[in-house]
């Protein structure tokens, strides 16, 4: 079988992350320095699609590590309602692989006009988004040919983690970041068998993906990846929100499989609760975890190496999900590189 | 057939909204006065489930009408990571029907400790959430017996609209608010035929609900209502996000029905694009709209009376979706009052 771009780009991730870490630090430090010169009270992250899932990671990283409340932008305020909120004391970050989406560009333009600190996180340093922002964090990921993003997603996470580290000013986080590319490489190796497990799940019309905290981003991104490449109804949930109503979908006759993203210690109790519920109801369980007790009971076990600090775990934990989406897409006879009806650059207002 | 609590509470909405408007204005004005005395730079809205969909409405109302960036809170920062962000210059609003959810209470408690302006929007003025906040906006909706919220959801929207009006200080919005209960009553009358349309859709395993701007809240809430009461994979999307990937799910063999929430003029172009796509691909179209050209092409037309200002349209547009969820639940032989596995009060950390 010819290898798809999707698979090639998934496997490029250790290389692209290492390059970004090596060549992108100066840009992150310079952007952080400009932020520090301003009276920044909160952050706004503007993005769509996979980039919006990266933004959700940024929401936790900036909130927990930099004490900044980070709002996910509502771009229609800027484009449809022409009623931009007050952004003068905000850090506004636009995230877009292509840097083309007019709504995201408009948020950055207006923020800069109001005097906000503005940063573009993009794979195209010559894009309109890069031009609109005061600082640019280029992803340096090389061209991404698959419509469904893999290497630019993890590069966006890495860029946001680097921004958080630069804003903090300590050296420790940079050492932790340095270990990520190697860990991602090990996880990719560990995913080799996933393709053969996928055909059993080919005919399920849906998939539930649950995470929490830092890895809510992972749950959303894995669900989106499966949706894009397999066209099934896959949705991501916070474990807390899932228990507030959506868990009713596990009471169907044909229970959808549940993929639980459960690395890191802080959210174990929550995700253990979801795992217990899934087992009790007899739904198929797919687990991404670094704990044996979770993996042993799973129908599909996606193992993570121990040792990644929780704030960086989304860079690692998304990889088995990307690989699962690939396997499922191929098992369903689809082309993961070119999902029906989708194009690489989506221009929304 | 015995009428369900869900149906009774759905029909109570004009009465409960009118009561809240009449008896709740003083509390909204008093809360707004306390907010004005502080250097508020942004808002944080903390909620789960249906209340989180109301929060999403608040995000647009506060952003567009009060120029406040409003972040949806990430409660795990407070509970799991013990790393509360800086909230001293925030307006922090906790929204919960029961006022019991420990994670939401914890966000309010910490915000108040930091000196933020804090408001509880709850149906129980004696709840822990009410005790944690400086100001309380009681929903005055009477006891809600159905597990799936209807009248407390629209009351939450109304309370947030009243807060926005009180923060603005003008009388005009109050006049607009005054017309809402009557319009909701007319929409309820117009939904009488929906129950007989539902059986045709009984066997679809999924539902896509699309809205944008103010009515992104409606799309999320209708999807949640259907999920809770029918147990199917229903999900809400912004039209912009839907086009960035999830639209691939319309390329399945069994295309899920798409419910488009399309009132108000500002987002017409976006939703018309989704409607065109749905027609092109031959997926069943359900439409909530006040425009004939949208309703005429729909498989199920849910008509809204003209004249509601867009900022208040979510109070009106959610009603046909609530009625659709009821019809579908009954058609599937379920009890909408007591969805399998769910309880009225969910305690998440």
Q: Are A120 and A135 in contact (CB under 8 A)?
A: yes
Which element (helix H / strand E) includes B71? Answer: strand B70-72
Residue B214, CA distances (Å) to B161, B210, B309 in order: 12, 12, 11
Residue A75, CA distances (Å) to A149, A349, B47, B68, B292 in order: 21, 8, 22, 14, 28
Task: Please check whether residue B343 touches A, CB under 8 A.
Answer: no
Residue by residue, DSSP assigns A142-160 as ----SSS-SHHHHHHHHHH
- Tell me the ipTM for this assembly: 0.94
Nearest-angstrom CA–CA distance, B307 and B305: 7
pLDDT at A248: 87
Q: Quickly count: other Cβ atoms within 10 Å of residue B140's Cβ.
A: 19
pLDDT at B11: 97
Query: Do the domains at A5-178 and A186-331 have one common CATH topology?
Result: yes
Crossing angle for the helix pair A25-36 and A13-23, nearest 10 degrees?
A: 50
**Mean residue pLDDT across chain A:** 94
Q: What percent of chain A has pLDDT over 90?
A: 86
Q: How many angstroms away from the CA of A299 is the closest CA of chain B? A: 21
Q: Are B74 and B87 in contact (CB under 8 A)?
A: no
Q: Residues 6 or more apart from A207 whose CB is under 8 A from it?
A: A223, A226, A232, A233, A234, A235, A256, A257, A258, A259
**In B, which residues are within 8 Å of A48 by CB distance?**
240-241, 244
Cα dihedral across residues B232, B238, B243, B244: positive or negative? negative
Residue A279, CA distances (Å) to A122, A251, A290, B260, B342 in order: 41, 12, 19, 35, 17
Chain A interface disruption, residue of B50, B114, B231, B245, most A CBs within 10 A: B245
Strand pairing category for A258-262 and B42-46: unpaired
**In B, which residues are within 8 Å of A247 by CB distance?**
341-342
With an 8 Å Cβ cutoff, are B340 and A248 in contact? yes
With an 8 Å Cβ cutoff, are B41 and A44 in contact? no
Cβ burial B308-326 (10 Å sphere, 16+ → b, else e) = bebbbbbbbbbbbbbbbbb
pLDDT at A3: 86
Please give the structure tokens belonging to residue A309.
């600090």
Nearest-angstrom CA–CA distance, A307 and A132: 39
Residue by residue, DSSP assigns A88-113 as TTEEEEEEESSS--HHHHHHHHHHHH
Overall fold of domain B5-178: Rossmann fold (3.40.50)
Nearest to residue B44, comparing CAs of B131, B106, B123?
A: B106
- DSSP letter (8 states) at residue A73: P
Nearest to residue B1, comparing CAs of B339, B326, B301?
A: B326
Question: Where do the structural domains in chain B lie, given as residue ranges?
Answer: 5-178, 186-331
Q: Are A161 and A61 in contact (CB under 8 A)?
A: yes
With an 8 Å Cβ cutoff, are B248 and A76 in contact? no
> Which pTM does this prediction carry?
0.96
Strand pairing category for B300-303 and B117-122: unpaired
Nearest-angstrom CA–CA distance, B227 and B146: 15
Task: Please check whether residue A226 touches B, CB under 8 A.
Answer: no
Chain A, window 83-112: residues with a beta carbon less than 8 angstroms from a chain B beta carbon: 83-87, 89-90, 103
Residue A245, CA distances (Å) to A251, B122, B210 in order: 11, 18, 19
Q: Quickly count: other Cβ atoms within 10 Å of residue A272's Cβ.
A: 16
Q: B138 burial class (0-12, 13-18, 19+ CB within 10 angstroms)?
A: buried
Nearest-angstrom CA–CA distance, B132 and B119: 9
Chain B, window 36-55: residues with a beta carbon less than 8 angstroms from a chain A beta carbon: 41-42, 44, 48-50, 52
**In B, which residues are within 8 Å of A98 by CB distance?**
none
Nearest-angstrom CA–CA distance, A238 and A175: 30
Q: How confident is the model at residue A144 (pLDDT cuts 50, 70, 90)?
A: very high
B67, closest residue in chain A (CA to CA): A85
Which element (helix H / strand E) includes B15? Answer: helix B13-36
Q: Are B271 and B246 in contact (CB under 8 A)?
A: no
At residue A281, φ and ψ (nearest 5 deg) are: -85, -10
Q: Which residues pair with B208 in a beta bridge?
A: B235, B258
Low pLDDT (below 50) residues in chain B: none
User: In this predicted model, what pLDDT tens digit does every residue of A199-248 receive, in sequence order?
Assistant: 999 998 899 999 999 999 999 999 999 999 999 999 999 998 898 788 88
Q: Quickly count: other Cβ atoms within 10 Å of residue B344's Cβ.
A: 16
Q: How many CB pairs lie under 8 A apart between chains A and B?
A: 229
Q: Are A95 and A69 in contact (CB under 8 A)?
A: no
Helix, strand or coil for residue A288? strand
Question: Is the domain defined by B186-331 classed in CATH 3.40.1390.10?
Answer: no
User: In this predicted model, what pLDDT tens digit does every residue of A99-136 receive, in sequence order?
Assistant: 999 999 999 999 999 999 999 999 999 999 999 999 99
Please state whether A58 falls in left (phi above 0), alpha (psi between -120 and 50) or beta. Answer: alpha
Q: Are B187 and B316 in contact (CB under 8 A)?
A: yes
Q: Are A188 and A237 in contact (CB under 8 A)?
A: no
Cβ burial B162-180 (10 Å sphere, 16+ → b, else e) = bbbbbbeeeeebbeebeeb
Q: Quickly count: other Cβ atoms within 10 Å of residue A211's Cβ.
A: 34
**In A, which residues are within 8 Å of B342 by CB distance?**
245, 247-248
**In B, which residues are within 8 Å of A249 by CB distance?**
227, 231-233
Q: How many angstroms away from the CA of A228 is the closest CA of chain B? A: 5
Nearest-angstrom CA–CA distance, A121 and A145: 19
Nearest-angstrom CA–CA distance, B125 and B96: 11
Residue by residue, DSSP assigns B42-56 as EEEEE--THHHHHHH
User: In this predicted model, what pLDDT tens digit does every residue of A22-78 receive, in sequence order?
Assistant: 999 999 999 999 999 999 999 999 999 999 999 999 999 999 999 999 999 999 999
Q: Which residues pair with A278 in a beta bridge?
A: none
Place of tokens 């867009």: B310
Nearest neighbour of B85 by CB, restricted to A67, A233, A235: A67
- DSSP letter (8 states) at residue A262: E
pLDDT at A42: 98
Nearest neighbour of B69 by CB, restricted to A71, A241, A248: A71
């Amino acid at each position: 079988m010819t290898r798809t771009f999707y698979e090639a780009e998934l496997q490029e991730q250790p290389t692209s992350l290492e390059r970004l870490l090596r060549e992108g630090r100066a840009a992150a430090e310079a952007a952080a320095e400009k932020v520090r010169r301003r009276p920044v009270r909160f952050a706004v992250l503007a993005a769509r699609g996979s980039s919006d899932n990266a933004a959700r990671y940024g929401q936790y990283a900036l909130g927990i590590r930099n004490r900044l409340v980070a709002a996910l932008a509502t771009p229609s305020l800027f484009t449809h309602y022409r009623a931009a909120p007050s952004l003068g004391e905000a850090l506004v970050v636009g995230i877009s692989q292509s840097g083309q989406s007019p709504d995201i560009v408009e948020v950055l333009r207006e923020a800069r006009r109001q005097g906000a600190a503005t940063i573009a996180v993009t794979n195209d340093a010559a894009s309109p988004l890069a031009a609109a922002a005061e600082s640019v964090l280029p992803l340096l990921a090389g061209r991404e040919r698959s419509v469904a993003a893999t290497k630019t997603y993890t590069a966006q996470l890495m860029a946001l983690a680097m921004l958080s580290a630069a804003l903090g000013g300590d050296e420790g986080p940079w050492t932790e970041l340095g270990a990520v590319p190697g860990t991602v490489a090990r996880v990719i190796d560990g995913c080799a068998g996933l393709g053969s497990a996928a055909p059993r799940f080919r005919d399920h019309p849906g998939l539930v993906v649950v995470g929490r905290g830092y890895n809510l981003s992972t749950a959303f991104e894995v669900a989106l990846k499966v949706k894009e490449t397999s066209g099934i109804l896959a949705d991501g949930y916070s474990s807390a929100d899932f228990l507030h109503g959506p868990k009713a979908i596990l009471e169907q006759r044909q229970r959808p499989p549940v993929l639980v993203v459960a690395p890191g210690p802080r959210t174990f109790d929550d995700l253990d609760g979801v795992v217990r519920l899934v087992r009790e109801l007899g739904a198929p369980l797919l687990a991404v975890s670094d704990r044996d007790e979770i993996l042993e009971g799973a129908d599909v076990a996606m193992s993570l190496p121990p040792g990644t600090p929780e704030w960086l775990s989304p860079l690692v934990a998304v990889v088995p999900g990307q690989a699962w989406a690939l396997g499922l897409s191929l098992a369903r006879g689809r082309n993961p590189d070119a999902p029906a009806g989708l194009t690489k650059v989506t221009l929304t207002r």
